[in-house]
Amino acid sequence: MTTLHNPLLNGFHPDPSVVKVGDAWYLATSTFEYLPGIPIHRSTDFETWELIGHVATRPGQLGVETVPTGGGAWAPTIRHHDGVFHLVITDAMGRGMLHFTATDAAGPWSDGALIVQQHGDETVQGIDPDIAWDADGQAYVTFSGLLLSGDLDPNQPMHLGIQQVRVDLETHRALEEPRSLWSGTGLMFPEAPHLYEIDGAWYLMIAEGGTERGHAISIARGSSPEGPFEGAPGNPLVSARSTPRPIQNTGHGDLVVGPGGDWLCVLLGVRPRSGTRAFSALGRETFVTSVTWADGWPAIAPVELSPRPRTRVEVRFDAPLDDEWVAVRRFPSDVSSREDGCLVLRADGSTLGDAQPVFVGRRQEHLTNEVTVRLDVSRGVGGLAVRYDERFHVEIESGAGAVTARAILGGLAQEWSRPFEGDMLDLHLASRKPEGGVGLVSTSDVFHLGATIDGERIELAEVDGRFLSSEVTESFTGRVIGVYAVEGAVAVHSWTAEGDDE
């Protein structure tokens, strides 16, 4: 019997979309300003998932080099039609609404064609696109009509509900002006539409309520991909709002037939901690839950927590980096190189507070987690950092005669430093469950920043982990832990990450 682990994909993996092809399932998630973009995971049992590649592996495919923080690759839909994989996505504040294709989900994928309006060359305005085909092969792109503009008040966004256009996939031009469809039960931000033909009926499933604590999934049914659609009597089908469930913000789901013919829903959620469960350290992750059908309507079970066992990752840099490594608005190969069995990063004048830092890292996958790197700083200054964005990061840095722990939290900065004249040391960044004390435990975790010098481990600082949570940073991403350089060149000899979710 298949074990449904939850999270299905640990760490920053939001907005999941899944498709079954043959005996395997393929799952895509959002990456925002990180590259390579849009990871593709594959499974043959829905239990073990392998990262087989990314959609955006070449410059220009997405165009996230200058997007603002939180922009970039938003909410993919992955589908398979006539022997070809299709993926549609919005490159928010970047290129616009894009359509990628590949004969192998591992890649290479096409450069991405812009889906343009019926008249003119402007992109179709909206986010979270879905793609589906009717019996005649006509492609429908259904999307959330959120108009993105730097001039819009984020508290009063211009939203047109769920919309749809028929598209000519040869020219990538809409064949009509956008039509409005069913937009849910009236909650804010109707988004993440997915359109399915099941047993002769068409179903339109959406998220609504916002991607925070009010997040929910609702569904409607009609006789045509164009509607009209009638909402299910049990809407919303799933939501964790106002419940004690350990997984909150559940929504943005996609339906698929799983192992043994049972229906499943993959969806995003968070695992908040603290006395009031206020802080989600890892951001939005991918989860899965079971689906049953009655009287032509699906019912989605509440999402149950079932974490994977403890994991340990050891990296030696005598081989190319695997696909888990990412960089910010650049590719890892743009900011690092392998030399003499080390990963070398050369500073270019940027810092972690800049849009394109010399930084390469991996997602934090566990609530309790520790990363250790062995670093040679004989030629420069750099270190080990956990990053949410340019304004929120915590690091331990060495070189130029010192080892320094630092917290940059929304414009506030604090440092703890001690002299170090050597070349080689181990840096440690640990995320640990807070110890009990007087009053309510009111944080997600505590960062412990340390260094091992000449065999002696020294703790430099502890930093409250709540400040690097999705609620405080208001980030769509999650924690990424990586190495960086700010002066000269630093060489990383080894990387070890170990963690669990106890």
The secondary element (H helix, E strand) that includes residue 471 is helix 470-473
As to burial, measured by CB atoms within 10 angstroms (0-12 exposed, 13-18 middle, 19+ buried), residue 437 is: exposed
At residue 277, the pLDDT reads 86
Nearest by Cα to 285 from 41, 465, 52: 41
> Which residues lie below 8 Å from residue 155, measured CB to CB, with a gap of 6+?
none
Q: In whole angstroms, what is the distance from residue 132 CA to residue 166 CA?
A: 10
* pLDDT per residue of the chain (502 residues) written in tens, 0 to 9: 467 899 999 999 999 999 999 999 999 999 999 999 999 999 999 999 999 999 999 998 999 999 999 999 999 999 999 999 999 999 999 999 999 999 999 999 999 999 999 998 999 999 999 999 999 999 999 999 987 655 555 556 678 899 999 999 999 999 999 999 999 999 999 999 999 999 999 999 999 999 999 999 999 999 999 999 999 999 999 999 999 999 999 999 999 999 999 999 999 999 999 888 899 999 999 999 999 999 999 999 999 999 988 999 999 999 999 999 999 999 999 999 999 999 999 999 999 999 999 999 999 999 999 999 999 999 999 999 999 999 999 999 999 999 999 999 999 999 999 999 999 999 999 999 887 655 566 789 999 999 999 899 999 999 999 999 999 999 999 999 999 999 999 999 999 999 999 7
- State the fold for domain 17-232: Tachylectin-2; Chain A (2.115.10)
Determine if the pTM surpasses 0.85: yes
Cα 446 to Cα 386: distance, rounded to the nearest angstrom: 12
Residue with tokens 């959330």: 144
Query: In terms of residues, how long is the chain?
Result: 502
Domain with CATH 2.60.120.200 in the chain: 311-500
pLDDT of residue 436: 66
Identify the pLDDT of residue 400: 93
Active site residues: 15, 191
- Measured CA to CA, the distance from residue 420 to residue 404 in angstroms comes to 9
Q: CB neighbours (10 Å) of residue 63?
A: 18
Q: What share of the chain is helix, strand, coil (3-state, %, to 5)?
A: 5, 50, 45
Q: CATH number of 311-500: 2.60.120.200, 2.60.120.510, 2.40.50.140, 2.60.40.10?
A: 2.60.120.200
Neighbour count for residue 349 (Cβ, 10 Å): 8
In this structure, what token pair is assigned to residue 2? Answer: 């298949």
Q: What angle do CA 254, 257, 258 make, to 5 degrees?
A: 105
Edge to edge, the sheet with strand 113-114 lists 72-81, 84-92, 96-102, 113-114
What does the angle CA 160 – CA 164 – CA 166 come to, to the nearest 5 degrees? 150
The three-state secondary structure class of 201 is: strand
The neighbour count for residue 416, using CB atoms within 10 Å, is: 16
Q: Which residues pair with 500 in a beta bridge?
A: 368
Q: What CA–CA distances, in Å, run from 66 to 137, 328, 354, 453? A: 37, 10, 12, 39
pLDDT number for residue 149? 59
Which DSSP category does 334 fall into?
A: H
The conformation of residue 32, written as its DSSP 8-state character, comes to B
* The Cα angle at residue 240 between residues 464 and 287, in degrees rounded to 5: 75
Location of each CATH 2.115.10.20 domain in the chain: 17-232
CA separation, residue 270 to residues 281, 287, 361, 432 (Å)? 9, 9, 21, 18
Predicted local distance difference test score (pLDDT) of residue 435:
79
27 φ, ψ (degrees, to nearest 5) = -130, 130
Tokens of 152: 């819009």
